Amino acid sequence: MTRQQRADLVARRLQELYPETPIPLDHRDPFTLLIAVLLSAQCTDKRVNQVTPALFALADTPEAMAAQPVETIQAIIRPCGLSPQKAKAIKELSRLIVERHGGEVPKTFAELEALPGVGHKTASVVMAQAFGVPAFPVDTHIHRLARRWRLSEARNVAQTERDLKKLFPRELWNRLHLQIIFYGREYCSARGCDGTTCELCRATHPPRQSRPARRNASRG
């Protein structure tokens, strides 16, 4: 099976499993999505969704968020981890959105990535899910699955993103990003599948075999 054939198989099966792709982070508009995605770094979506109601009740616009003390923001988002850095980034990017962009979240990769705390992956999620621009956000989980399914041999997420964009049509990128995440959580987690267990791992690499359990050498 060629790499393209594996990609086609993955796309077909994921569409069968996940015809609907709801955005897993609760949000109201591009700004609240941006904040939620920023908070999701090294944190689960479930935890972010537990934290953001209180944060957005306090401030759900760039103007209101920029007016909050960093300490107030940090106290609310502490369960998400990295709260000092994230709180500073949230306040500062809110200020810059007001000052540079008239209070509207910018709609280009370059402008988003110029904001504090916003890397390429975060910008890609916002562009794809808030504005419908074709993007293929790749985090460590998608990077792991792409390697397991032999869609990429890249050692970093940037190259994996380039490889996946070559394999899949642009009109599938936004949906596939979420479908791969959903599948990884349900069937192919880092601990739940060793690269031989789940359906897509078996289908994309049939000869792969599980390693036999190592026997403990007895000492006499």
pLDDT, residue 196, reads 84
For the segment(s) 30-129, the CATH number from 3.40.980.10, 1.10.340.30, 3.30.300.30, 3.10.20.30 is 1.10.340.30
Q: Which residue has the tokens 């060629």?
A: 2
Q: Rounded CA gap, 210 and 195, in Å? A: 8
pLDDT, residue 212, reads 45
- For the domain made up of 3-21+136-204, give the CATH fold: Endonuclease Iii, domain 2 (1.10.1670)
- Please, which residues have CB within 8 angstroms of residue 30's CB and are 6 or more apart in sequence? 104, 105, 126, 130, 131
Start-to-end CA distance of the chain, whole Å, equals 49
pLDDT, residue 206, reads 67
Catalytic site includes residue 165? no
Residue ranges of domains in the chain: 3-21+136-204, 30-129
Active-site residue, from 26, 60, 86, 121: 121
Q: What is the pLDDT along the chain (220 residues), one digit of tens a residue?
A: 899 999 999 999 999 999 999 999 999 999 999 999 999 998 999 999 999 999 999 999 999 999 999 999 999 999 999 999 999 999 999 999 999 999 999 999 999 999 999 999 999 999 999 999 999 999 988 999 999 999 999 999 999 999 999 999 999 999 999 999 999 999 998 888 888 889 999 998 765 544 444 444 333 3
pLDDT, residue 195, reads 81
pLDDT, residue 99, reads 97
Q: Rounded CA gap, 168 and 182, in Å? A: 18
In angstroms, the Cα distances linking 52 to 35, 38, 39, 74 are 9, 11, 9, 12
Active-site residue, from 139, 165, 166, 194: 139
**Cβ atoms of 21 and 178 closer than 8 Å:** yes
In angstroms, the Cα distances linking 90 to 37, 44, 118, 214 are 11, 18, 10, 49
- Please, is 174 exposed, middle or buried when counting C-beta atoms within 10 Å of its C-beta (0-12, 13-18, 19+)? buried
Half-sphere exposure for 85 (CA within 13 Å, toward CB): 11
Global confidence as pTM:
0.88
pLDDT, residue 92, reads 98
Q: Rounded CA gap, 98 and 26, in Å? A: 23
Catalytic site includes residue 139? yes
